[in-house]
Structure 1
Amino acid sequence: MFPIYDVIVVGAGHAGCEAAQAAAKMGSRVLLCTMNMNTIAQMSCNPAMGGVAKGQIVREIDALGGKSGVVADKSMIQFRMLNRSKGPAMWSPRSQNDRMRFAEEWRLILENTPNVDFWQEMVTGLIVKNKKIKGVRTGLGLEIQAKSVVLTNGTFLNGIIHIGEKQMGGGRTGEKAATGITEDLRSLGFESGRMKTGTPPRVDGRSLNYALMEEQEGDENPEKFSYSPTTQAPNKQRSCWITYTNKDVHDTLTEGFDRSPMFNGRIQGLGPRYCPSIEDKINRFAERDRHQIFVEPEGWDTVEIYVNGFSTSLPEDVQFKALRKITGFENAKMFRPGYAIEYDYFPPTQLKLSLETKLIDNLFFAGQINGTTGYEEAASQGLIAGINAHKKIQDQEPFILKRSEAYIGVLIDDLINKGTEEPYRMFTSRAEFRLLLRQDNADLRLTSYGYQMNLADEINYQLMKDKMSNTEKLIAKLEKIRVTPDAINAALIQNKTATIKENTTIEKLLKRPQLGINDLMRMNQELNDELAPFDKNVLEQAEIQIKYRSYIDKERQMVEKISNLDHMKIPSHMDYSTIKALSAEGRQKLNKIKPETIGQASRISGVSPADMSILTIYLGR
């Protein structure tokens, strides 16, 4: 009935879709297994992509040849560039999306990708021989053979949904949990744990009073995620809205705490630190008399509203009563209550940097099974796992991004070397080289990799090369063009910056924080005419590189120093328990992680600088 597949991907969420698309485009024959073909790429929580650091990840996925950015663009109902008031390292694109169209676009992409087959059924077990994956077993008792398997099970592994005192098995509302895989993995020697996440109630937008809320429009000149010319920035947008909880809301919620699974011990798993439930917020931050609520439409043609900031697992009657005390929600009608969900995950220290498991050859994990939270984090892992599943069966070296190359590299390096005991979410603060890892230069950093692997298209590769070349030309031009005091001083005064006393290059003026390239073009018609032929992305790129050159150079020097450590290989058979000079914790962590390089060893939580000195001496470095 089935051929022997190159790659079987289990789960068709954001990680699974990226994994299947990547492996198939590289030439592998792929089977995508899902319990429900109608929920492929379902946005289980908020209908949005990107945000702080997450937007950078979406751009990186796109530059490598993944499809999350393309799908986000095609289903976008609003775009905002966050943190514009800060430096460019902090700028983060975010889109509000049409939930149904997002899923539809992903399914169309997969159905039009050669080499992708589909199978709708629960995968209940793995076929393993001699510590090597050989395929999967299904609920119908079918055995499907494969050379590699990627597990992207999301929140479905032994998932339990909590609403007040009620519990039910499920991986998402209305969908059953996945059973069997956890038990198989444990029998093979894997460690597992439990995590928790949650979602807010959905309400009828026709029942809300928007006049009492603060409107939040999209950017006046919206952008898009994908570098591909196949998508466009939105020419119309839908507004979101902001309102707030109040003391009455908090009092009503508090009355239900004795029926809350969070507070009566029924939920054991840890939830996301940076996206707490509303009951957690009012309990932990009791001194605050209000919390922000984002009122987000679920799409162009639906009245369903996502109540962002009101994630809860309280009983449905308490949720409803409290909702109606929020300003603008006095007559709210609830479509469905919020809930919490507990699920199994596998500590990611059991993986290699390629996302292949250490215990079983050719078995890969991606997404929430690794303890992460968020569509973007999951999608990026799926992309890397799909790439490396294909490369492994082709006997090729794995594709591993460094921390200095991408937020994706930071994410995976953190997971493997530090592990996580709570849902991991990406932030710009996690990246030590964030000035190099901006959202505006993901194509310059990563498109060459994607092109070499047959993931990034020829047209995207050429666009990247043109952008790089034109940026270099523009910088060279700006270093030569000089303006006179008579031509520019009046405008400099208007911009509240010091006048010049002699002819000065545009490059020198651009280093001033008060001036941008668009300001200078407005000030001087001759300069405007000179720079008009350059694309706005090239203008922005040149300005950033000039304005932050000294800081960028310092980060690059630091990268060079650290990269030397990453070139120092450690023998795979190293037994750290024989190195008695190492600390007990250092021996334990090094034996568990089995780092491939000195650089990786230095980033393992619990390995001290003293341990590193001893290790480098031991290795003769």
Structure 2
Amino acid sequence: MTLNYDVIVVGAGHAGCEAATAAANMGAKTCLITMDMNKIAQMSCNPAIGGIAKGQIVREIDALGGQMGIVTDATAIQFRMLNRSKGPAVWSPRAQCDREKFIWKWRETLDSTPNLDIWQDQAEELIVEEDNGKKTTTGVKTIWGVTIKARCVVVTAGTFLNGLLHIGRKMVDGGRIAEPAVKHFTESITRHGIRSNRMKTGTPVRIDKRSVDFSLMEIQEGENDFHQFSFIGQHKVLKQLPCWTCYTNKEVHNTLRSGLADSPLYNGQIQSIGPRYCPSIETKLVTFPDKEQHPLFLEPEGENTNEMYLNGFSSSLPMEIQINALRRIPALRNVKVYRPGYAIEYDFFDPTQLQHTLESKIVDGLFFAGQVNGTTGYEEAGGQGTIAGINAALKCGNSAENGDSNSATNKFILHRDEAYIGVLIDDLVTKGVDEPYRMFTSRAEYRILLRQDDADARLTEKAYNLGLVNRERYDHWMEKKQGIDNIIRFCESTHIRKDEINSALESLGTTPLREGCKLADLVSRPQLNFKIIGELVPSLKETIEKLPSRNEEIAEAAEIKMKYKGYIEREKMVADKMHRLEDIKTKGHFKYEELAQLSTEARQKLSAINPETLAQASRIPGVSPSDINVMLVLMGR
């Protein structure tokens, strides 16, 4: 049996779903291959979307016409904006989701996407043809003997490629718990000269909430303001639920240490590298032996389930050790679990073998996205899937009707000053990975340009020109843009007399006016915001309330643009200067181990490699753009 498509997407995780919908929405006839149609977009680890820098990526996916933000808003059971105590450049949305409803909302989305078919099967072999030394993929063969032909293949296989599960000394083949591993597919790719390696990740125990004493835990409520992920999605559809916090203790640690001899991480069973920034509980004990406690976060898995996720307790220790340790925590003394935590090893492919479009440099028409590129996280996967799907569709000739300049070359690339997704992909293809890659705001040197509030300003018009965003969505953005401009114009043209506001300014602890000023000058003061000023200047409040929709979201975007105008303009200038790094020599210039301004990881890796130039330093894994900026300043540049 033979099927014919423009684009094949192998794997229906977060990368695969975004890749498939992006390609299909651009007009490419697309086939999404998945082993289990009931586990599409499964949240394999924690039931949450977003977080530090990850939330920005989700907003960017949404602005590009992707689905993750819309699905998250429709299934969210708690929302929070992280980093509120800091500047808006690092504000990051995060939502707990109903795991099962998330899957079915995605399934509903896929089923209603034109040009998209789902095929339940397992890819076993990548079909590659060679002509005069040029290798080109023409499709895949499945374990059921089906040949599916296409011009482009996007591989988004997650942790399934030769996946191996670990609990204590017990090892079982699998891509996730109780799901089979994919054999042979890696080998069908590497035989064409594409390098693969192994990585490790893990997940915590799942707990029955009926066995938890919540009176001994601290409640962590969500937020109920206007914030959400999608610029157009539904707002807080489901019942909002709290999370809970508690801590490990010495007894817990002693119990865990008693099992280290049987830990796959320390008995030689696991050779691959795990995520530095999401370590297992046993890694925390070994790395931080003097810490007497570690925080744990108990998170609901859904509206109508007793299953809860214990964030902070990822482990692959023997299951009896895990459970006995948990019972040393007062709130969990009678705990019952649905299953223990486990580790998983899996294949990934060296991302330095990819172009910025995520197409292979070795096999034409072959794209990779998600954990197969060495990343970790649903959000990083979704961002890559979006870009891979767009470029696969462009390669098949499904370019925009609206004249995007990128589409003329059949490539769509986001640069580091345009999106966190651009930072992510540039890091992968330029620096490669030696551990699972996780996005942080510190990795982006232009983070005040890449805020969560302005993702639509940066990307929606690009998406419209690509054909990813329909006219209704584009008009929604233009309406918002007009609202932002109207508020800024009002503030820049409205004159305030000192006698009508000085007493209020003094009571708020900010300097009174010596003379009248424009309202915009007051907005720039750190002690003041639109809410406060609106009470003092009713016409501002009226201007905001007259906006046709989502006036709070529009007002926040306008206020940030005004309040941080100087910083934004300065960062744009820095972005221009940062393109001149190739000629700046660094070898012999620094004693990296003495530079306290750099992160510990950067000092270690810069000392080991001793790069020739600042450009080379910027490509070393673990050296962030912020570290490069520090070096640039120390060199007087």
Tell me the residue number matched to 2:314.
311
Deviations 1:54-88 (A, max 9, x none): 00000000000000001001110010001111100
Tell me the residue number matched to 1:451.
464
Task: Answer whether contact 1:244 1:327 (CA < 8 A) is retained.
Answer: no
Please state if 1:146 is matched with 2:146.
no
Unaligned stretches of 5+ in structure 1? 567-597, 608-621
Tell me the residue number matched to 1:579.
none
1:168 to 172, 194, 203: 172
Name the CA distance, whole Å, in 2 between partners of 1:254 and 1:343: 26
Please state if 1:555 is matched with 2:582.
no
Which moves more between the two structures, 235-244 or 423-432? 235-244
1:198 to 192, 196, 202: 202
Tell me the residue number matched to 2:223.
219
Name the CA distance, whole Å, in 1 between partners of 2:124 and 2:64: 32
Tell me the residue number matched to 1:612.
none
Aligned pairs for 1:412-427 (under 5 A) are 412-427=425-440
Tell me the residue number matched to 1:611.
none
Sort the Cα spacing of 1:235 and 1:374 in 2 relative to 1 into closer, same or farther, 3 A.
Answer: closer
Residue 599 of structure 1: how far off its partner (Å): 12
Residue 456 of structure 1: how far off its partner (Å): 1.4
Tell me the residue number matched to 2:136.
132
Which moves more between the two structures, 314-323 or 483-492? 483-492
Aligned pairs for 1:415-564 (under 5 A) are 415-534=428-547, 535-562=551-578
Residue 324 of structure 1: how far off its partner (Å): 1.0
Task: Answer whether contact 2:197 2:349 (CA < 8 A) is retained.
Answer: yes
Name the CA distance, whole Å, in 2 between partners of 1:600 and 1:391: 31
Tell me the residue number matched to 2:366.
363
Task: Answer whether contact 1:198 1:341 (CA < 8 A) is retained.
Answer: yes
Deviations 1:440-473 (A, max 9, x none): 0000100011111221122221121122222122
Task: Answer whether contact 2:100 2:302 (CA < 8 A) is retained.
Answer: yes
Tell me the residue number matched to 2:332.
329
Residue 603 of structure 1: how far off its partner (Å): 5.2
The alignment partner of 1:552 has SS state of helix
Amino acid at match of 1:484: R
Please state if 1:101 is matched with 2:101.
yes
Aligned pairs for 1:174-193 (under 5 A) are 174-193=178-197
Name the CA distance, whole Å, in 1 between partners of 2:566 and 2:510: 21
Which moves more between the two structures, 438-447 or 498-507? 498-507
Which moves more between the two structures, 450-459 or 421-430? 450-459
Amino acid at match of 2:464: Y
TM-score, normalising length: structure 1: 0.90
Amino acid at match of 2:472: I
Name the CA distance, whole Å, in 2 between partners of 1:490 and 1:308: 49
Task: Answer whether contact 2:327 2:335 (CA < 8 A) is retained.
Answer: yes
Amino acid at match of 2:148: I
Please state if 1:92 is matched with 2:92.
yes
Task: Answer whether contact 1:4 1:147 (CA < 8 A) is retained.
Answer: no
Residue 493 of structure 1: how far off its partner (Å): 2.0
Which moves more between the two structures, 303-312 or 553-562? 553-562
Deviations 1:183-236 (A, max 9, x none): 1122111111110000000010011011111100011325211011x4223574
Sort the Cα spacing of 1:401 and 1:200 in 2 relative to 1 into closer, same or farther, 3 A.
Answer: same
The alignment partner of 1:294 has SS state of strand
Aligned pairs for 1:39-78 (under 5 A) are 39-78=39-78
Residue 600 of structure 1: how far off its partner (Å): 8.9
The alignment partner of 2:428 has SS state of helix
Residue 564 of structure 1: how far off its partner (Å): 8.5
TM-score, normalising length: structure 2: 0.88
Task: Answer whether contact 1:222 1:233 (CA < 8 A) is retained.
Answer: no
Name the CA distance, whole Å, in 1 between partners of 2:87 and 2:172: 46
Residue 328 of structure 1: how far off its partner (Å): 0.9
Please state if 1:406 is matched with 2:410.
no
Deviations 1:391-442 (A, max 9, x none): 1121852100010000000000000000001000000000000000000000
Name the CA distance, whole Å, in 2 between partners of 1:145 and 1:483: 68
The alignment partner of 1:158 has SS state of coil
Task: Answer whether contact 1:161 1:340 (CA < 8 A) is retained.
Answer: yes
Name the CA distance, whole Å, in 2 between partners of 1:469 and 1:222: 20
Tell me the residue number matched to 1:114.
114
Name the CA distance, whole Å, in 2 between partners of 1:166 and 1:69: 38
Tell me the residue number matched to 1:591.
none
Sort the Cα spacing of 1:605 and 1:212 in 2 relative to 1 into closer, same or farther, 3 A.
Answer: closer
Residue 475 of structure 1: how far off its partner (Å): 1.2
Amino acid at match of 2:13: G
Task: Answer whether contact 2:110 2:116 (CA < 8 A) is retained.
Answer: yes
Deviations 1:238-262 (A, max 9, x none): 0000111011100000000001000
The alignment partner of 1:119 has SS state of strand
The alignment partner of 1:305 has SS state of strand
Please state if 1:250 is matched with 2:257.
no
